[in-house]
Structure 1
Amino acid sequence: MKQFCLLFFLFTISLQAQFQANGIVKDSSTNKPLPFASITVNNDINTISDVDGKFSISSPIPLSTFDVSYIGFIKTTVPVQKNKNYYIVVLSQKTNNLNEVLVPKENPGLTIIRKVIENKNNNNPQKKLNSFEFKSYNKLIVTANPDSIDGRIDSVFIQKSIGKQFSKIDSSDYKFKEIIRKQHLFQTEKVSQYQFHNSKLKETILGTKMAGFKQPIYEILAFNLQSFSIYDSSYELFETKYNSPIANDALKDYNYKLLDSLTIDGRNTYMIYFKNKKKRKASGLEGVLYIDQNNFAVAKAIMRIKGVLDISGTHNFKYIPSENLWFPSDKTFKIVKGKNDDDLKILGGTIQFDGDVEKDFKRRKKEASDYTYLLSQSNNFDIHYNTPIEIKKASIYIEIKDDAINKPENFWNTYRKDSLDSRSHNTYLALDSISVKKRIESRIRFGRKIINGYLPIGKFDLDLRKLFSYNNYEGFRLGIGGITNEDFSKKYRIEGYSAYGTKDGNFKYNLATATRVGKFSNSWIGASYTDDVREIASTSYAIDKRIFKLYDPRPINISTFYKYVSWKTFIETKIIPKTESIWELSHSVVEPKFNYLYNLNGKLYSNYTMTTAMVSLRWNPFSDYMQTPTGRIEVEKRFPKFTFQYTQSLPKIWQNDFVFSKIDFKTEYEKKYLNGQKTSLLFEAGYAFGDIPLTHLYNTSPNNLNKETIIQRITFAGKNSFETMYFNEFFSSEFAFFQFKHSFSRVTIFKKIKPSLVLVSRMAWGNMKKPEQHVGVDYKTLNNGFFESGIELNQIFKGLGLSGFYRYGSNQLPKFEDNIAVKINYVLNLGL
Structure 2
Amino acid sequence: MKKIIILLLSFGYLSIFSQSKIIVKNSTDQSPVINATISCNNKIAGKTDASGILIFKTKCKKVEVSANGFQDDDVVVDKVMEVFLTKADPNIKNIQTIVLEDKSDPRALEILKKVNENYKQNSPQSLDSYSFKSYEKISLDLDEDSINAYNSYIANRIDSLKRLPQRPMKAAEKKDSLESVNLMKLLGESKIFLWERASQYLYSKKYGEKINILDNKVAGIKEPIYELMAFRSNRNQIPKEIREENRNLYRFFLTDSIEIEGRQNYVIRFRQVDYKQPVKQRKFNGYLYVDKDTYALKKIESNSKIKSEGSITSIWKPVDNKWFLVKENYKLKMASATFDNDDKSDKNETKEEKEADKKNTKRFGSYAFVTADYFDFQSPIEERSADFKGYTIDVKNSDGKSIDQYRTENLTEREAATYTTIDSLSAKYKLNQRAKALTGLLKGKIRVGMVDFDLARIIGYNKYEHFRFGAGAKLNDKFNRYISPDAYFAYGIYDKDFKYGAGVDIRTTLEKNSFFRAEYFNDVMAAGRFSENLWNFRMKIMNSGVALNNNVFFGHKGFKLSYENDITNALTINVAAKRTQEESMFDYNFKGLGNQFDIASSVITLKYSPNSKNIMTPTGKYTYEQNLPELYLNYEQGYKAFGGDFNFSRFDALFVHNFKTKLGVTGLRLYGGLVTGDAPIWKNFTLNGLGNGREGLNFNLTSYLGFATMAGGKYYNDKFVGAYLTHKLPWYFKSFGKNVSSFDFIYRGTIGDMKNPEFHQFDFKKLDHLYNEVGLEWNNFLSSQFNLGFFYRVGYYNTPKFKDNFAIQFKLKLLGF
Q: Same fold (TM over 0.5)?
A: yes
- Note closer, same or farther for the CA distance 1:383–1:784 as it changes in structure 2 (3 Å cut): closer
Residue identity opposite 2:634 in structure 1: Q
1:573 paired residue number? 565
CA distance in 1, matches of 2:804, 2:28: 63
CA distance in 1, matches of 2:495, 2:325: 68
1:235 paired residue number? 238
2:708 paired residue number? 723
Residue 201 (structure 1) shift = 3.7
CA distance in 2, matches of 1:437, 1:457: 17
Identity %: 23
- Is the 1:25–1:88 contact (alpha carbons within 8 Å) kept by the matching residues of 2? no
Equivalences for residues 331-730 of structure 1 within 5 A: 331-337=327-333, 372-390=366-384, 392=386, 394=388, 398-402=392-396, 404-408=397-401, 411-450=402-441, 452-547=443-538, 555-599=547-591, 604-628=593-617, 631-650=620-639, 652-670=640-658, 680-707=667-694, 709-710=695-696, 718=703, 720-730=705-715
Residue identity opposite 2:798 in structure 1: Q
CA distance in 1, matches of 2:793, 2:674: 25
SS state of the match for residue 437, structure 1? helix
- Note closer, same or farther for the CA distance 1:495–1:615 as it changes in structure 2 (3 Å cut): same
- The counterpart of 1:810, out of the listed 796, 804, 815, is 796
Residue 763 (structure 1) shift = 1.8
Residue identity opposite 1:773 in structure 2: F
- Is the 1:401–1:628 contact (alpha carbons within 8 Å) kept by the matching residues of 2? no
Residue 733 (structure 1) shift = 0.9
SS state of the match for residue 607, structure 2? strand
Quick check: which one's helix share is greater?
A: 2
SS state of the match for residue 499, structure 2? strand
Q: Deviations over 1:642-680 (max 9, x none)?
A: 222111223x431222222222111233569999x9764
1:269 paired residue number? 263
SS state of the match for residue 235, structure 1? coil
Q: Deviations over 1:404-455 (max 9, x none)?
A: 22242xx233332333221111111122233332223322333444564444
- Is the 1:462–1:482 contact (alpha carbons within 8 Å) kept by the matching residues of 2? yes
SS state of the match for residue 428, structure 1? helix
- Note closer, same or farther for the CA distance 1:615–1:764 as it changes in structure 2 (3 Å cut): same
Residue identity opposite 2:257 in structure 1: L
- Is the 1:225–1:333 contact (alpha carbons within 8 Å) kept by the matching residues of 2? no
CA distance in 1, matches of 2:184, 2:21: 19
- The counterpart of 1:772, out of the listed 755, 758, 762, is 758
- The counterpart of 1:223, out of the listed 221, 226, 231, is 231
Residue identity opposite 1:579 in structure 2: L
- Is the 1:807–1:820 contact (alpha carbons within 8 Å) kept by the matching residues of 2? yes
Question: Aligned-residue CA RMSD in angstroms?
Answer: 5.3
Residue 620 (structure 1) shift = 1.8
Residue 219 (structure 1) shift = 3.4
2:287 paired residue number? 287
- Note closer, same or farther for the CA distance 1:671–1:435 as it changes in structure 2 (3 Å cut): farther
Residue 764 (structure 1) shift = 1.3
Which range moved further: 658-667 or 741-750?
741-750
1:185 paired residue number? 192
Residue identity opposite 1:87 in structure 2: A
CA distance in 2, matches of 1:306, 1:427: 28
Residue 541 (structure 1) shift = 2.1
SS state of the match for residue 442, structure 1? helix
CA distance in 2, matches of 1:725, 1:509: 32
SS state of the match for residue 430, structure 1? helix
Residue 261 (structure 1) shift = 2.7
CA distance in 2, matches of 1:643, 1:578: 12
Residue 721 (structure 1) shift = 2.1
Residue 76 (structure 1) shift = 8.5
Q: Deviations over 1:41-62 (max 9, x none)?
A: 9xxxxxxxxxxxx995549997
- Is the 1:119–1:297 contact (alpha carbons within 8 Å) kept by the matching residues of 2? yes
1:783 paired residue number? 768
- The counterpart of 1:740, out of the listed 708, 717, 725, is 725
SS state of the match for residue 618, structure 1? strand
2:314 paired residue number? 314
Structure 2's unaligned 5+ residue stretches are 1-15, 59-63, 71-83, 86-95, 158-180, 277-283, 337-357
Residue 370 (structure 1) shift = 7.6
Q: Deviations over 1:527-566 (max 9, x none)?
A: 1122222211221322224558699655454322122222
- Is the 2:115–2:297 contact (alpha carbons within 8 Å) kept by the matching residues of 1? no
- Is the 1:463–1:480 contact (alpha carbons within 8 Å) kept by the matching residues of 2? yes
- Note closer, same or farther for the CA distance 1:316–1:463 as it changes in structure 2 (3 Å cut): closer
- Is the 2:542–2:704 contact (alpha carbons within 8 Å) kept by the matching residues of 1? no
CA distance in 1, matches of 2:718, 2:535: 22
CA distance in 2, matches of 1:441, 1:636: 24
SS state of the match for residue 716, structure 2? coil
Residue identity opposite 2:419 in structure 1: Y
- Is the 1:22–1:87 contact (alpha carbons within 8 Å) kept by the matching residues of 2? no
Residue 615 (structure 1) shift = 1.6
- Give the count of matched residue pairs: 710
Residue identity opposite 1:235 in structure 2: I
Structure 1's unaligned 5+ residue stretches are 1-16, 42-53, 157-173, 229-233, 345-363
Residue identity opposite 1:376 in structure 2: V
Residue identity opposite 1:542 in structure 2: N
- Note closer, same or farther for the CA distance 1:649–1:112 as it changes in structure 2 (3 Å cut): closer
Residue 570 (structure 1) shift = 0.3
- Is the 2:465–2:493 contact (alpha carbons within 8 Å) kept by the matching residues of 1? yes
- Is the 1:666–1:682 contact (alpha carbons within 8 Å) kept by the matching residues of 2? yes
SS state of the match for residue 140, structure 2? strand
- Is the 1:682–1:740 contact (alpha carbons within 8 Å) kept by the matching residues of 2? yes
- Is the 1:312–1:335 contact (alpha carbons within 8 Å) kept by the matching residues of 2? yes
SS state of the match for residue 28, structure 2? coil
1:202 matched to 2:182:
no
Which range moved further: 474-483 or 697-706?
474-483
